[in-house]
Amino acid sequence: MSLDRLWAGWRSAYVGGGDPGDPPPGVGSVFTRILASGRPDEETHVVHRGATVFAILNRFPYGSGHLLVMPYREVVDLEALTGDEHRELWATVVDAVRTVKAAYHPDGVNVGANLGAAAGAGVPDHVHVHVLPRWAADTNVMTAVAETRVLPEALPATWAKLRAAWPVP
């Protein structure tokens, strides 16, 4: 019996703790540093920029099309959002849902926020809302047995698909 291998080399940055394209360590959340990097949206995977809120691909997604929607301003709690940020955040979440539906035609969509480290927030200092397409059969033994997620497309392809499907204001 031989051991099969699944190559997912693009995930080496996750295992190794980063790659040369990562924003430099510094003040602020990883999202703030990405925005301050000056790199183009195509490289940073920013899908949409609004007045107070933006949408970016999750760099280590649960599945293809996994978006994060958040204010530019680092805010820990939803209740700390200004009225304008609150309105635009939820309007952008709705646009993100429309976008993943148009781009991927999923069976459903997960929308959620993990508020605080104890709730599972990977970046607890910058509130963000997850929007990701789901399919009836998108669970498999890879995650449970091998702690591995299998994604059918690379992030640049996902970015291009979602950017093209984003609703025009």
User: What is the set of active-site residues?
Assistant: 128
Helix, strand, coil % over all residues of the chain, rounded to 5:
40, 15, 45
CB neighbour list of residue 31: distance below 8 Å, 6 or more residues apart: 56, 68, 70, 74, 123, 126, 128
C-alpha span between 162 and 106 (Å, rounded): 13
Sign (positive or negative) of CA dihedral 54, 123, 117, 96: positive
CB contact burial 23-34 (16+ within 10 A = b; e otherwise): beeeeebbbbeb
